[in-house]
Amino acid sequence: MRKIWAIAAREYRASVKTKAFLVTLFLMPVLMVGSFAAQMVVSKLDSTKKRRVVVVDRTKGGDLAKFLLSAAEARNATDLFDEKEPTKQVRPTFELEVAAPSDGDEKAVGLQRLAFSERILKGEIDGLLEIGPGVYGYGQTKDPDGWIRYQSNKPNVNDFLRWAEPMLNAGIQMRRFREAGMDQGKIQAMQRVVPMKLKGISQRDPADPDRVIDASDESRVANFAIPFILILLMFMMVMIGATPAMQGVVEEKMQKVAEVLLGSVTPFQLLLGKLLGMIGVSLTVSGLYMTGIYVVAYRFGVTDFLSPAVLAWFLVYLVLAILMYGSLFIAIGAAANDMKETQSLLMPVLMIVMLPLFVLVPILQDPNSLFSTLCSFFPPSTPMLMLARVSVPPGIPWWQPVVGVVGVLLTTLACVWVGGRIFRVGILMQGKGPKLSDLIRWAIKG
């Protein structure tokens, strides 16, 4: 056991004392925060860019185009600036160009659309809004003449569509009310939409138990964000710990260091020592990051989502995930002769590691559904998915994460056993690189 701990300590020191580790440790959160900040800055810059749209109104008289043009002028004059900072523009200007419609036959309509599409490709305009001649008709219609059509190749047109669609429908309804002789103001008042306010669950005030307080708006965001962050953190810790360990084994094998080490320890002792060192590195990094996450959660008053139970399950599942996947990464490193060979051998394991990320969103949306429960009991995905279900209030029955630990523990023992057999054969093998079938044969026959 003393030799195993000596190997683990050596692996831990070799990882945490490198400049690359320190740079990664501090640079990763900076890059993540910086990327979000850059996206926000670019989004704000793009949100104030002028949108140039051509409007073709095929209705009789072209009243809708005139109505939309007048509404755009009023919006540009009053609704572009921040309410708190009247000199700061926060919304884009809509510049509309009303074009005369072509003849109604299919060929003429197609040629006109093609002409404006070419202008879009040249960057002269951002889009083409076409109002069909039958939009004043009642009821749903499958006839394109009753549609409002928009064409563009730019991804930033949602702001214009969110404004133009309700505005055009308001103009269409005004025309329908007028033709039907109805009191438009009274009908619109009766149709007023009552907004729904989304809030978290109410709870007692800690300072005054007789007083009930509403959850903050931040808590509703934290209900989804904190579990998502914990899962990404676990994924990062597995990759940060396992990948360098695999690369280290390949380097030791190429430099004949492994042969010297195996003169003093068994292959299983060497494998287990590297796994323990990997766990130490991952726990060190995750501890620092979790401290930062808790500080941010405390700042916004959402520490309830980081309860001691959630943190405990995070540590348990993190250790098991590192043992499970780390043993396979190290075994692949021992089997390969160079880093190039690890790429093809590692692909099936990477797909299994990333599998929980593909189903994470529906599980966070409904953690107690049958789909979520079944997925979380699939051992390779259990560490991430069970943690996601535990961290979403109100949580899950206590026996489910316990059963999940048992399943992952058994799978981990199997992976360590398989990894040890592959490691024992591959660490001293030179020459032709192994195939995936060779790894399976080594795991079965030794």
Contact 250/368 with Cβ under 8 angstroms? Answer: no
pLDDT confidence of 112, banded at 50, 70, 90?
very high
What span, in angstroms and rounded, lies between the C-alpha atoms of 131 and 145? Answer: 8
Amino acid at 226: I
- The pLDDT assigned to 95 comes to 92
Report the pLDDT averaged over residues 40-51.
66
366-379 residues labelled b (16+ CB within 10 A) or e (exposed)? ebeeeebbebbbbb
Q: What angle do CA 274, 279, 284 make, to 5 degrees?
A: 130
Q: Which domains are assigned to the chain?
A: 47-186 (3.40.190), 217-445 (no CATH)
State mean pLDDT over 15-43.
71
Q: State both tokens at 184.
A: 């438009």
Contacts of 204 (CB under 8 A, 6+ apart): 210, 211, 212, 213
Report whether pLDDT(332) > 70: yes
Collapsing DSSP to helix, strand or coil, 166 comes out as helix
Q: Is 46 a residue whose pLDDT tops 60?
A: no
Q: Say if residue 403's pLDDT is above 90.
A: yes
pTM exceeds cut of 0.75: no
Hey, how many other C-beta atoms are within 10 angstroms of the C-beta on 227? 23
Q: What is the C-alpha to C-alpha distance for residues 122 and 350, in angstroms, rounded to an integer?
A: 43
User: Residue 382 — pLDDT band, cuts 50, 70, 90?
Assistant: very high
pLDDT band with cut points at 50, 70 and 90 for residue 377: very high
* Least confident among 22-31, 306-315, 338-347, 402-411: 22-31
Distance CA 241, CA 355 (A): 19
| Residue 288 or residue 100, greater confidence | 100
User: Percentage of residues in the chain with pLDDT exceeding 70?
Assistant: 90
Q: What is the mean pLDDT of residues 140-154?
A: 82
Mean pLDDT, the chain, rounded, equals: 83
Where does 126-193 have alpha helices with state H? 158-180, 184-190
Q: Which amino acid is at 218?
A: E
Tokens of 156: 């930033």
Q: Distance (Å, rounded) from C-alpha 225 to C-alpha 83?
A: 29
Residue 7 near residue 265, CB atoms below 8 Å:
yes
Q: How far is CA 142 from the centre of its chain?
A: 37
Which value, to the nearest 10 degrees, does the dihedral of the CA atoms of residues 223, 226, 229, 230 take? -110
Instruction: Name 54's bridge partners.
Output: 97, 128
User: Does residue 140 register a pLDDT over 70?
Assistant: no
124's tokens? 């002269």
Q: Which tens digits make up the pLDDT trace of 271-291?
A: 888 888 888 988 888 888 888
> Could you please report the per-residue DSSP string of 61-117?
GGHHHHHHHHHHHHHHHHSSB-SS-TT-B-S--EEEEEE----SSHHHHHHHHHHHH
